[in-house]
Amino acid sequence: MTNTIADIEDSDMILITGSNTTENHPVLSSFAKRAVLKGKKLYLIDPRKVKISEHAEKWLRPFPGTDIAWINGMMHIIIKEGLENKEFIENRTENFEALKETVEKYTPEYVGKITGINAQDLHEVARAFAKAPAATILYCMGITQHTCGTDNVKSLANLSMLCGQLGKPGGGVNPLRGQNNVQGACDMGGLPNVFTAYRPVNNDDARIGFEKAWNVEGMSAAPGLPVTEMVQKAYEGELKSLYVIGENPLVSDPDLNHARKALANLEFLVIQDIFETETTKIADVVFPAFCFAEKDGTFTNSERRVQRVRKAVQAPEEAKEDWEILCEIATRMGYRMSYSGSNEIFKEISALTPSYKGITWERIEKKGIHWPCPDETHAGTPILHTAQFTRGLGFFHAIDHTPPAELPDENYPYILTTGRILYHYHTGTMTMKTDGLNILSPECFVEISAADAKQLGLDSGSMVKVSSRRGKIEAKLKVSSKAVDGTIFIPFHFAKAAANELTNAKLDPTAKIPEFKVCAIKIEPVTA
């Protein structure tokens, strides 16, 4: 996030897109709802009529996979009406003319044909965003989990820069991260092409710094593989072993039939987790690890705030902390790794990570600090890009709409989109071991509009078979006001009717994220 969570409440206009905010981020959504109670305007642009729509000034429904088109349409209107922030564009950005040329053809009428959004509604939201003293964009995986996910995010950044909504309180482009410490994992180099603080692995200075600190030589400058490509390499027999920590790919990966074959083709599979999962069942070795409440450490949340985590309960005797397991394996492989505890590890993080350099265990004893924090006299950086962007000038990317990898046809007439529900978390490794949550949400469902259900001649509670070109599942139909004609929603938490049996493994070429949010399906009644 470029801004803070608290900042949302101070925004004059909140644009939410690709986010079921109240179910996926219930605490954060309260800031948006309080802003509305204060008279601020909230607009929702999303294929489903999710609950946050109840607080919205207006809900715009684009066809799934058409986000670039409506964002370009908003920018077309803003430029045509002279509502862009000319001073910000002149002083803080470059490549504006290329963007202007690209969005010229995205008239409201043209956008309507692509997205299904009414021209008048598009005008209203574009004007509200451009005229707001401070407007924030909140987005989640409904924006990123597409073959054009990277371009979707760049387009939202274009819109914010166009109106000068970056680098100030109440503004910004703010991704709502999918898990509690995914920001921290990325900060620590949990990506295949970077060290900590997002320094490329082929950055000689960064690599030499780690070699000196760790007393090693010859660290590779070649980027590794993202998980989606690892699975394919395993399928092809090129990747022989895999070490999975805190992940359940046999529920969370796309095109699960393909993923099962890929993992079965491995020579050696290691899983490190807190509970048994669908994936531990096929592992050669399983390491039991501590859960969050059994250890000390830090989490870095969506707003880049580094916060302390403290041990609350005793772990089972046979379990170890994640870092202890990794250190023991490294030592047995010939490189001695040893730390006295999480505090010592965090000291090393601060020493080797420029954006964390000024953050110490003592400074975050009671209150977290936002990175970047370059030294111990620095208070942290709640809002990014206040004076300039990381690259200097902000760059406008001229981007055209591209359709999803798979669209409905006569054989598969519906669009499937997947996501989460309030009562379960990710693949249910923790939440499905909780009786109360299982009572509230015991099984998978197929969310459908009343009109589509009527056309199929089916009612809520009917068992249906849902099929794509990759697989099929059976689950109960759920007629819902959230659903829109032609689009079906299935939560991906449930292994017994895993939505990812159906999803498309086609990837965004840059981020390598699968297109979880759009694929073509058909629905048939289950006959006895």
- Helix ranges restricted to H, 54-132: 67-80, 86-92, 96-103, 108-115, 119-131
* Cα gap 284→302, rounded to integer Å: 35
* pLDDT at residue 516, rounded to an integer: 93
Extract the residue ranges of the chain whose pLDDT is less than 50: none
Which CB contacts under 8 angstroms, 24+ apart, belong to 106-110? 106/69, 106/72, 106/73, 106/75, 106/76, 107/73, 107/76, 108/73, 108/76, 108/77, 110/73
* pLDDT at residue 180, rounded to an integer: 85
* Cα gap 48→171, rounded to integer Å: 25
* pLDDT at residue 400, rounded to an integer: 98
384: closest CA among 183, 138, 181, 169?
169
pTM beyond 0.75: yes
52: closest CA among 21, 6, 11, 13?
21
Place of tokens 């099984």: 443
* pLDDT at residue 338, rounded to an integer: 94
Would you give the DSSP letter of residue 88?
H
What amino acid occupies position 200?
P
* Cα gap 507→149, rounded to integer Å: 9
pLDDT digits (tens, 9 = 90+) for 306-365: 999 999 999 999 999 999 999 999 999 999 999 999 999 999 999 999 999 999 999 999
pLDDT digits (tens, 9 = 90+) for 48-100: 999 999 999 999 999 999 999 999 999 999 999 999 999 999 999 999 999 99
Cα four-point dihedral sign 51, 248, 334, 265: negative
Cα four-point dihedral sign 401, 402, 403, 404: negative
Q: Are 418 and 499 in contact, with CB atoms under 8 Å apart?
A: yes
* pLDDT at residue 528, rounded to an integer: 66
Cα four-point dihedral sign 437, 442, 445, 450: negative
Domains of the chain: 6-176 (3.40.228.10), 414-525 (2.40.40.20)
* pLDDT at residue 527, rounded to an integer: 83
* pLDDT at residue 179, rounded to an integer: 84
Q: What is the 3-state secondary structure (H, E, C) of 241-252?
A: EEEEECCCHHHH
H/E run at residue 489? strand 487-491
Which CB contacts under 8 angstroms, 24+ apart, belong to 433-436? 433/275
237: closest CA among 265, 216, 257?
265
pLDDT digits (tens, 9 = 90+) for 266-286: 999 999 999 999 999 999 999
Instruction: Tally the C-alpha atoms within 13 A of residue 241's C-alpha that lie toward its C-beta.
Output: 6
